[in-house]
Amino acid sequence: MIPEETSGIGTVSTIDPATPSPAMAAVDVDVCEVGPRDGLQSLSGFVPTAVKMDWIAREAAAGVREIEVCSFVPPKVVPQFVDAADVVAGALDIPGLTVTALVPNAKGAERAVAAGVHRLSFTLSVSRSHSLANVRRTPDEQLAEFARITAFLATVPAARRPLVSGGLSTVFGCATEGPVDEAEVVRLAVGLAEAGADDISLADTTGHANPAQVRRVVGAVSRAVGSRLTALHLHDTRGLGLANVLAGLDAGIRSFDASLGGLGGCPFAPGAHGNVATEDLVFMLESMGLRTGIDIGRLLDARRALEAALPGAPFAGHLHKAGLPKGFRPAPGGRL
């Protein structure tokens, strides 16, 4: 059992936007862009490497500090990521950017390390049927695969060894199985922590979560693995994405995944959406006085460029339609 640690973070809903954080960290909340991985995996056509690189470069220039740039799945399974090593190489040339890649297995981890990523994002589905469909392993078999990855990473020289995140998916519900057992979520989170995850994230893969559930599950996992639970990956499938972010903030989470233009969802599930839209999330956080380090205007420019490059893709979100409200100010010291 991992010793319990306290996050030391209380509720933030009442933060006064006029009061700078005493810590004066560069940012208050980390926003990790996952669109180049989560958004593109659901598109049927191959997106040219140059389009992916332009997207990544524009977001980095807007101030996004971490981007999940691709997935090291077998190219036979998801041809979209056949250029994964090239995308990583290009992203590594961007100063200050943390380059993350999703890895579903040890083979993918070896390819990602060879490519030079800064962080591996491993995924383990709590739902047995989703896990079998996704990686053809039960959750416990996938946990054993994670232990193989951390054993492999221990053999990598420290200078080249990436961090490894243990990401639990279908945490809040499963499209096949419906409700997911919260005790099983906690058990698998502890398993990831004990197997050597540097940090743990919880994903609402199919948009089942509600704010009360987010608060409850984050609390339960935090009690089991302490401050190692750092991030939430929330989809906006049923319109509760930002409400769930707020619940996560109140529960002490300070890192959220998002997708530019809310790109994502399944082309075979009408009405499905991707992650919360990055620009909407940054707008909410900055409006609340929470610094993200991201320039919203440049983020909206990046969205326009991406929409032009991907005509017909299932974009979502709100801010791009109305624009920033009159008199809007970002968090103190923030960029506009």
Query: Which residue ranges make up the site for Zn ion (CB under 5 A)?
Result: 38
Closest to 59 in 3D by CA, of 232, 204, 260, 211:
260
Q: What is the DSSP letter of 200?
A: E
**How many Cβ atoms sit within 10 Å of the Cβ of residue 152?**
15
Q: In angstroms, how far is CA 100 from the centroid of its own chain?
A: 10
206 vs 292, beta carbon nearer Zn ion: 206
φ, ψ dihedrals at 148, nearest 5°: -65, -40
Place of tokens 């984050």: 218
Residue 109, CA distances (Å) to 74, 82, 122, 156, 209 in order? 11, 15, 9, 11, 29
Q: Find residue 68's DSSP bridge partners.
A: 100
If you count them, how many residues does the chain have?
A: 336
Closest to 276 in 3D by CA, of 259, 297, 294:
259
Give dist(CA 247, CA 258) in Å, integer: 16
Q: 206 Cβ partners below 8 Å, 6+ apart?
A: 170, 173, 174, 175, 235, 237
State the residue number with the nearest CB to Zn ion: 38
Give dist(CA 13, CA 295) in Å, integer: 22
Core vs surface per residue 73-96: b (16+ CB within 10 A) or e:
beeeebebbebbbebbebbeebee
Cβ 201 to Zn ion, closest distance in Å?
A: 11
Active site residue 174: no
Q: In angstroms, how far is CA 85 from the centroid of its own chain?
A: 20
Residue 103 contacts residue 121 (beta carbons within 8 Å): yes
Cβ 307 to Zn ion, closest distance in Å?
A: 20
Which sequence positions are flagged as catalytic? 266
